[in-house]
Chains A and B, each alone.
Chain A
Amino acid sequence: MSEIRLGRRAFLSVVGLGAVGLLAGGRLSGAAAPLGRLVPDGVGNLVSAGGWRIYAISPPWPSFDPASWRLEVTGEVEQPVKLTYDQLLALPSQRQTSDFHCVTGWTVGDVRWEGVRLAELWDRVQPKPTARYANFVSMEHPYVDTLTMEQTTLSGVMLGHRMDGKPLSQSHGAPVRLVIPEIYGYKNVKWLTRIELTRELRPGYWELNGYDVDAWVGRSNGY
């Protein structure tokens, strides 16, 4: 009677497939993305929310009350403003479809955003010539992150208040989040409540934890 070491073969096959997966790296993640689109929305949302992972730093998630929420724009500006939710929605808004990249390696493609360009906001508050950085403060204390004034007007940057045709959900940062497709998600601040323009750079929450200040997708944080 012949014996075959089939167990070892199965074990090594599983380990080998895993190793190939790890070595194939980002190419594999890219190839797997279209597969995700084959999954029906309902199942996808239960299993992976279309590829999103919801990260937060301090429980519980901030909740949005339209009556009391304000978006304050302060600091190095001529005309500080405090916008209500209705006033924010009344600003001219733009639509775009862009990809969202997380520094931990996942990407959600073709997210449909609707929101207000920062240039639109700057027109109203008139940044002073001394304003060099914009600090985006979240309702989730102590989350804050910073862009240079140049970065705030890159194409595709907006204060997103609608996502995939619906008002921004709590998990995605209701009522409004920063959207910067070219920069990793940790600088796409959720649950925005204040924007402060400053002369000096103030490192954001994740920068204080060792992440790059300029978080260009594919060109920072070791990529």
Chain B
Amino acid sequence: MAAPTATELVRRFSPAERSLHWLLAGTFLTMLATGLILTLPSLAELAVGRQLWKNIHLGAALGFWVGLLALMSSAGPELRATARELDRFDDDDRRWLRWSVHRQGDEPRQARFNAGQKLNAAIVAGLMVVFTASGVLIYLQETSAAFRGRTSAILVHDIATWVSIPLILGHLYLATVNRSTRHSLRGMILGTVRRDWARRHHPKWEETL
């Protein structure tokens, strides 16, 4: 195989994949910001207009699910294939997870998604379900007496938040600051990445192109 030129580009993410990513990014950051305003006492003074922040928070949640449904109905088979790709961890993926902890020896060869990205996607998907279930309960308890009672919906929603924050900060660091990985942001925005970068980070995928 010829050495890749620095400018040769390969397509990593499809329009549907990028749409789903940015739908989640936009709605999640909106919910995080408005949620912190509603929760943190240091920001509570801003929250005097609680209803406005609540409406934005709930609107973003609704927007996420409506957007997800719309994407699934327009690009369902393709996104399901992506989900299968994220779901399956081969031997190299499991080696990669161990390698990511001790960092000894060569990085096990990875496909289009590395094992860390796969794990992150699965945890984030789980958190979206947990956020939605606990959030719906909190909403019902506020609006109807029938749903009140001993509950830990607020606690579960809080814990999901404190788990999400380090995940999102780590994600932002790798995507925008960390020198060797930040090129992947280009793939998420424009769809394409440099072939030489792909060969270094995702060789099992790059050699299939």
A interface with B by C-beta (< 8 Å):
1-15, 17-19, 21-22, 24-29, 32, 45-49, 52-56, 58-61, 103-106, 171, 210-212, 221-223
Contact = CB atoms under 8 A, between A and B. Distances in A.
A37 B31 CA distance: 28
Given A61-B45, A171-B44, A10 B152 contact: no
B122 interface: yes
A26 B48 contact: no
A8 B84 CA distance: 9
- Residue with the greatest number of chain B CB neighbours at <10 A, chosen from A3, A14, A45: A14
Contacts, number: 149
Nearest to A44: B41
Interface stretch (B99-107, B127-135, B188-196): B127-135
A25 B145 CA distance: 16
A49 B134 contact: no
Interface of B: 39-42, 44-45, 47-50, 83, 86-91, 93-94, 118-119, 121-123, 125-127, 129-130, 133-134, 137-138, 141-142, 144-156, 159-160
B126 A13 contact: yes
Given A6-B118, A26-B150, A171-B44, A222 B145 contact: yes
A60 B47 CA distance: 9
Given A18-B134, A26-B152, A104-B141, A3 B88 contact: yes
A15 B124 CA distance: 10
Contact of A222 (B86, B91, B147, B156): B147
